[in-house]
Amino acid sequence: MKVKWWIDLLVSYRVIHAFKTALACLIALIVFRAFNLDHGQWVIITVAVVMGAQVTVGAAEDKSIARSAATVIGAVAAGLFLLTGWGGNFIAEMLILFIVAFGFAYLAGSKRYSYVGVLGTVTFAIIALTGSIKLGVAEGMLRAVDILIGVLISLVISKICLPIYARRELLLSISATLRDLVLLCEDSFSKHTVFTRLENSAFEIDKIAAISQSFAEQNKLAEESKAWLERKKLSFDLGLCKDSLVQLKRVFRQILETRYSLSLSRDDTVWLRGHTDTQALVQHVIALLHCWSEQLKCYPDPIEDGFVFDDNKLVRLRQVIQQQAANQSAQHHIHLYAFLHSMEHLWEELVRFNFILQQALVKN
């Protein structure tokens, strides 16, 4: 157990990312001291900011671009202000700082340019409030060089040292979600031989929370996957991959509806769970979910075992339920057909998911 604990610790992304960040900071310090850079602490600060919370290569690239852009925009704005000759004029400084802070704060309120807005004001203040064109330009140039060095170190370490790619993590996360859906299906049909109300069970609540959290994480990874370095690593269609995420949520919702349809009637539920045609269709659905999970884990390598939709299993279940309902009361009709319709809709959602996913994973 101790060995496994150490292995899990060493391969955890938090430990890997912490090691990479510490290594990048160490390299930044070596560059700072070796070349005796003026204000070289900005190299280390830049590395810490760019890599600090940016686990994936794509996130580091986005933060690097944002920090570089903020430095350039802030420095240019400060340089233009100093060229006016108003440096040291308190009224002019108040006016221009209000305008610049307003503009950058407006950018900071956006999702995409938030960091540009935050750092732009800082850069402007550092350079413009020196009050001297010569000193301001010198400060601006030194700061820009230091930041660009820090950005370069961050990108190189993120890319070549134990890289964690957002696109790879996105596919693995979707794969894990599919495995969670398998567990929901198994809980619905295989683990309860007697009547059990499934909705709001502790197992279901935990799984819903875990799957919902994974959807949020996948949305974040999808945004980080837009980066150029990410596209160079894995070239699947990101737009269609996002569509498959939306469709996967529909599959998840329909699986829950199918579970709820099994809580309507004790007798009908026991009969449905025990029937061979129900089990055959459910096992086929589970096999499909497993195949997609493996396909995403192995991408871009193909999986050995393919998968084919067997509509005959759904047809046979429909016929069996229709025959059973013909000999039952109206109340049983409602319960049996509620389950049948939920399975039919689940099948439709699975077909759509497969269509979108296979298109998304075609190499560009």
Chain length of the chain? 364
pTM for this model (two decimals): 0.85
Q: What span, in angstroms and rounded, lies between the C-alpha atoms of 88 and 292?
A: 65
Q: What span, in angstroms and rounded, lies between the C-alpha atoms of 328 and 116?
A: 67
Collect all residues with Cβ–Cβ distance below 8 Å to 81 and sequence separation of at least 6: 87, 96, 124, 128
Rg over CA atoms, the chain: 28
Domains and CATH numbers, the chain: 2-160 (no CATH), 166-360 (1.20.120)
Ordered DSSP codes for 69-100: HHHHHHHHHHHHHHHTT-TT-HHHHHHHHHHH
Q: What span, in angstroms and rounded, lies between the C-alpha atoms of 114 and 106?
A: 9
| Token output for 232 | 């160079």
Note whether 60 and 50 are within 8 A (CB).
yes
pLDDT of residue 318: 95
Find the DSSP H helices in the chain. Answer: 2-11, 13-34, 41-52, 57-83, 90-108, 114-128, 133-160, 166-189, 202-224, 228-233, 238-261, 266-274, 276-298, 311-326, 330-360
pLDDT of residue 1: 42
**Chain-centroid distance, C-alpha 120:** 27
Q: What span, in angstroms and rounded, lies between the C-alpha atoms of 157 and 272?
A: 56
Give me the tens of pLDDT residue by residue for the chain, a chain 364 residues long.
Answer: 444 544 454 457 888 889 999 999 999 999 999 999 888 899 999 999 899 878 999 999 998 999 899 988 998 888 888 888 887 788 988 999 999 999 999 988 887 778 888 888 888 888 888 767 777 778 778 888 899 999 999 999 999 998 999 999 999 999 999 999 999 999 888 655 555 666 667 888 899 999 999 999 999 999 999 999 999 999 899 999 999 999 999 999 999 999 888 877 788 888 888 889 999 999 999 999 999 999 999 999 888 766 789 999 999 999 999 999 888 888 888 889 999 999 999 999 999 999 999 999 986 5
Note whether 43 and 32 are within 8 A (CB).
yes
| Token output for 274 | 């025990």
Q: Which amino acid is at 358?
A: Q
